[in-house]
């Protein structure tokens, strides 16, 4: 079976890792992306097709197409004419991982419905599917065996990412709450991960004790965004960070913080004072991530979801 994976760049949805995960199951997996990414995920994948500034046209029709990120859908998806040789009756899966979908979900949902594609989404994007059939997608990472030694001093980190401009991760509130905590604990440190390479980001997380992923304040929800576990949070769990994020109804990830019952500053103080509990929670989250976000598990989840959607097709 020939599979093509299409992405805006190899960092979207950890698509470079997804290709490598699928190649453990199938040898014929073609990776097509528009641009090299600044985090250099593209270096992790041999035998790729880079189409700078133009639409991809494949030599032969794939049996299955996987589009990672809604930007890739808008860039390369053409059901008439050329494009990446994807046709309406061809098994196609769209994996939603990007903030572009947040700003265009009404239009994109209609397009996905019309095309009859299979849709998967990160937990934090599930509310925008508005009840449509959608499977949970956790991006694949292989960081569980990454060498790490936690800092001697208590370290908290947070990655605002591209959502910083609209505060969709609750970064402004996170800063305020962390500063309250630091005022009472001057020996602790807070690091915002911005302007770093992927390797530098991994190094920071590997030394931190706590990672704050997304904490959208109750009743605020910029652009309707509800938060939840994102790609950066999954990475942090694999690296042994105790990861704090919103509680949502989507996904089965371990989350011990309820912002409707306590403030972030109080929660940080609690785990700062109870280091054994902190370590046990981080260990449990790492165990969850090892089970749900390793290469083999993610590839199995994606392929199983596709098979369930196209159970009468030749996908096996």
Q: Is pLDDT at 52 greater than 80 in this prediction?
A: no
Per-residue pLDDT tens digits for 305-315: 877 765 544 44
Distance CA 247, CA 257 (A): 7
pLDDT at site 307: 77
Contacts 24+ apart (CB under 8 A), 48-51: 48/10, 48/19
User: What's the whole-number mean pLDDT along residues 254-278?
Assistant: 92
What is the percentage of the chain residues whose pLDDT exceeds 70? 77
Do 3-140+294-309 and 155-292 share a fold?
yes
Between 143 and 190, the higher pLDDT residue: 190
Per-residue pLDDT tens digits for 33-48: 777 666 666 666 766 6
Spans of all domains in the chain: 3-140+294-309, 155-292
pLDDT at site 313: 45
Task: Identify the band that residue 79 occupies on the pLDDT scale cut at 50, 70 and 90.
Answer: very low
Per-residue pLDDT tens digits for 92-119: 899 998 888 988 999 999 989 988 889 9
Q: Is pLDDT at 173 greater than 50 in this prediction?
A: yes
Distance CA 1, CA 15 (A): 19
DSSP-based three-state secondary structure for 155: strand
Element (H, E) at 156: strand 155-158
Task: Identify the band that residue 274 occupies on the pLDDT scale cut at 50, 70 and 90.
Answer: very high
Q: Is pLDDT at 268 greater than 90 in this prediction?
A: yes
Q: Is pLDDT at 9 greater than 90 in this prediction?
A: no
Quick one: tokens of 283? 């260990």
Q: Is pLDDT at 89 greater than 70 in this prediction?
A: no
Mean pLDDT of the chain: 81
Between 230 and 271, the higher pLDDT residue: 271
Class of domain 155-292: alpha beta
pLDDT at site 116: 86
The pTM of the full predicted model, rounded to 2 decimals, is 0.81
What is the percentage of the chain residues whose pLDDT exceeds 90? 31
Per-residue pLDDT tens digits for 188-244: 999 999 888 888 999 999 999 999 998 876 655 555 566 778 888 989 999 999 999
pLDDT at site 192: 95
Distance CA 264, CA 16 (A): 34
Q: What's domain 3-140+294-309's superfamily in CATH? A: Glycogen Phosphorylase B; (3.40.50.2000)
User: What's the whole-number mean pLDDT along residues 49-59?
Assistant: 54
**Which range, of 106-115, 155-164, 196-205, 250-259, averages the lowest pLDDT?**
250-259
């Amino acid at each position: 079976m020939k599979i093509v994976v299409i992405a805006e760049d190899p960092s979207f949805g950890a698509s470079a890792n997804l290709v490598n995960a699928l190649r453990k199951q199938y040898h014929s997996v073609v990776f097509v992306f528009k641009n090299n990414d600044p985090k250099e995920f593209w270096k992790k994948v041999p035998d790729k097709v880079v189409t700078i500034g133009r639409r991809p046209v494949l030599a032969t029709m794939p049996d299955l197409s996987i589009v990672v990120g809604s930007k890739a859908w808008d860039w390369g998806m053409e059901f008439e004419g050329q494009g990446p040789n994807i046709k309406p009756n061809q098994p196609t899966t769209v994996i939603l991982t990007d903030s572009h979908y947040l700003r265009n979900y009404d239009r994109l949902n209609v397009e996905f419905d019309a095309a009859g594609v299979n849709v998967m989404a990160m937990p934090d994007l599930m509310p925008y599917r508005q009840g449509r059939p959608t499977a949970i997608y956790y991006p694949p990472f292989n960081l569980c065996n990454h060498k790490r030694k936690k800092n001697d001093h208590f370290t908290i980190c947070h990655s605002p990412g591209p959502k910083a401009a609209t505060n969709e991760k609750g970064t402004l509130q996170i800063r305020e709450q962390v500063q309250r905590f630091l005022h009472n604990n001057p020996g602790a440190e807070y690091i915002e991960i911005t302007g770093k390479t992927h390797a530098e980001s991994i190094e920071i997380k590997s030394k931190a004790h706590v990672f704050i992923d997304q904490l959208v304040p109750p009743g605020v929800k910029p652009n309707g965004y509800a938060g939840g576990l994102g790609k950066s949070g999954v990475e942090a769990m694999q690296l042994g960070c105790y990861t704090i994020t919103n509680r949502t109804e989507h996904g089965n990830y371990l989350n011990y913080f309820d912002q409707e019952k306590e403030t972030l500053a109080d929660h940080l103080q609690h785990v700062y004072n109870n280091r054994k509990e902190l370590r046990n929670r981080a260990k449990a989250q790492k165990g969850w991530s090892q089970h749900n976000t390793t290469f083999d598990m993610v590839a199995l989840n994606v392929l199983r979801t596709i098979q369930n959607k196209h159970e009468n097709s030749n996908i096996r």
